[in-house]
Structure 1
Amino acid sequence: MNNQPGLIHAASATTATLLAALMLPFATVAGADTGATHVIGNFSAGNLADWSEQVFKGHTVYQPATIDGRQALSAVSAASASGLHKKVKIDLAATPYLEWSWRTDDILRGIDETTRAGDDYPLRLYVIFSRGWFFWQTYALCYVWASNKPADAAWPNAYTSNTIQLAVQSGEARLGEWLDYRRDVRADIKRYMGFDVDHIDAVAIMTDTDNSAQRASAWYGDIIFSGN
């Protein structure tokens, strides 16, 4: 895993900075998808190859761990914000389905996720795509476990309208459980962002609590793109 200091070391311009950091020569990225299944995050094997850290405010601690007899990637944030990203081009025509699992023991109390002061999440998973060479042409759809916004709600990120947050889980009802997801990324981008895209250029995960100065413990399972 590579460490990369934040390009903007502000209180929490997290998503805007992440998109700027990933405004890169995507054509040079190895590992473009050509098959029916593409494993992006092989966390069950403790594999963090090709994942890089983006630091915003302090370090969220990411490390392989076992919980409930299951190998995963642990994330512990204590008033911190850093994420992991992987640059990889995925053909959404061939493999549009994103499958992942995650778990958290914590939600963040008393925050409004639509504001900059409340832009914290125990779990985030970004799919990132570019529609040009400039940073303002980089976009992301971010699947989140929301603390207060309801499940299935979608809203612009508090720092950049180029990112849409989509709550696939909300509140404390399923805390302490492993939850599995399968999303049609191409359809979600079309529905929530209005773009018809044929590929994405990167994925990222983040557990952050810098704005609320709270603490969250979370675990990420494998991240896979598949064709059916």
Structure 2
Amino acid sequence: MASLNDGWEPLIFPNIERHTQYALNTVDGQQVVRASADGSASGLIARLALEPGDSLVLSWRWKVSNVYEAGNAREKSGDDYPARIYVAFEFQSDKAGFFERAKRKTVEVLFGETLPGNALNYIWANQIPEQTLVANAYTDKTVMIAVNSGEQQVGEWVSVERDLVADYRQAFGEEPPAIVGVAIMTDADNTGERATAWYGDLTLRR
């Protein structure tokens, strides 16, 4: 992440007016992204077209200022995270029903971009235990994976490494299609709370 203009672009959601603020910071001589949320939601995404193969490892490090008191991955009202990594996979139209394909096409026409299919969200949770997988409160096309949880490591840098292929198989019970995007996101639009997160050394490797 040498530059926020180097392959990264804003990830904005319809009907959410307050956007999280992202900026490059230097911490201990290394460049990281600082995200500040205040009742807001948006992300930064790198668009990709990458076949995951038999194994593809995503690694990063992150730090958060706090967790959300009202955060709860199982409820829409608590679907906020001080830090998350969002991995979007290609939509597989041959596995979708007619109404799902029609609904997606309508949204794509309205918003002018191709929507992804399934997604994995690696989250810093509040309530659910680490390593727990739960369906997103809004859509079963997204599975949340708690890689950190609670306050124990708040204020500390935490390094994370995940095999995207293994996680996709566990989450969706099938082989993953191509990856179309990886995003960072700090959001607080459902809880209305505040948090700051720092992201660094986000890499993909075979």
Q: Same fold (TM over 0.5)?
A: yes
Please name the residue that 2:148 is paired with: 169
Please name the residue that 1:105 is paired with: 65
Q: Quick check: 2:116–2:180 contact (8 Å CA) kept in 1?
A: no
Count of residues paired in the alignment: 184
Query: Residue by residue, what CA displacement relative to the aligned partner does 1:22-56 show, whole Å, maximum 9, x if unpaired?
Result: xxxxxxxxxxxxxxxxxxxx2xx334322221223
Kindly report which structure 2 residues correspond to 1:193-204, keeping only aligned pairs within 5 A, or say none.
193-204=172-183
Please name the residue that 2:85 is paired with: 125
Q: Secondary structure at the match of 1:189?
A: helix
Residues of 2 paired with 1:179 and 1:217: CA distance? Answer: 15
Deviation at 1:68, TM superposition (A): 4.0
Q: Secondary structure at the match of 2:121?
A: strand
Residues of 2 paired with 1:112 and 1:171: CA distance? Answer: 11
Residues of 2 paired with 1:179 and 1:122: CA distance? Answer: 14
Kindly report which structure 2 residues correspond to 1:39-78, keeping only aligned pairs within 5 A, or say none.
42=1, 45-56=2-13, 57=16, 58-78=18-38
If asked which structure has higher relative contact order (CA below 8 Å, sep 6+), I would say: 2
Sequence identity (%): 37
Residues of 2 paired with 1:206 and 1:123: CA distance? Answer: 6
TM-score with structure 2 setting the length: 0.83
Q: Quick check: 2:63–2:158 contact (8 Å CA) kept in 1?
A: yes
Q: CA RMSD in A?
A: 1.8
Q: Quick check: 1:46–1:72 contact (8 Å CA) kept in 2?
A: no
| Letter in structure 2 aligned against 1:196 | E
Residues of 2 paired with 1:111 and 1:90: CA distance? Answer: 32
The structure-2 alpha-carbon separation of the partners of 1:149 and 1:50, relative to structure 1 and needing over 3 Å to count, comes to same
Task: In structure 1, list runs of 5 or more residues that go unmatched.
Answer: 1-41
Query: Residue by residue, what CA displacement relative to the aligned partner does 1:188-220 show, whole Å, maximum 9, x if unpaired?
Result: 100121120253111111100111111000011
Q: Quick check: 1:79–1:215 contact (8 Å CA) kept in 2?
A: yes
Please name the residue that 2:192 is paired with: 213
Match of 1:191 among 167, 170, 183: 170
Matched, 1:138 2:117: yes
Task: Detail structure 1 runs of 4+ shifted over 6 Å in the superposition.
Answer: none
Please name the residue that 1:156 is paired with: 135
Residues of 1 paired with 2:177 and 2:152: CA distance? Answer: 35
Residues of 2 paired with 1:47 and 1:54: CA distance? Answer: 12
Q: Secondary structure at the match of 2:43?
A: strand
Deviation at 1:102, TM superposition (A): 0.8
Q: Quick check: 1:148–1:171 contact (8 Å CA) kept in 2?
A: yes
Task: In structure 2, list runs of 5 or more residues that go unmatched.
Answer: 94-100, 105-114
Residues of 1 paired with 2:176 and 2:54: CA distance? Answer: 12
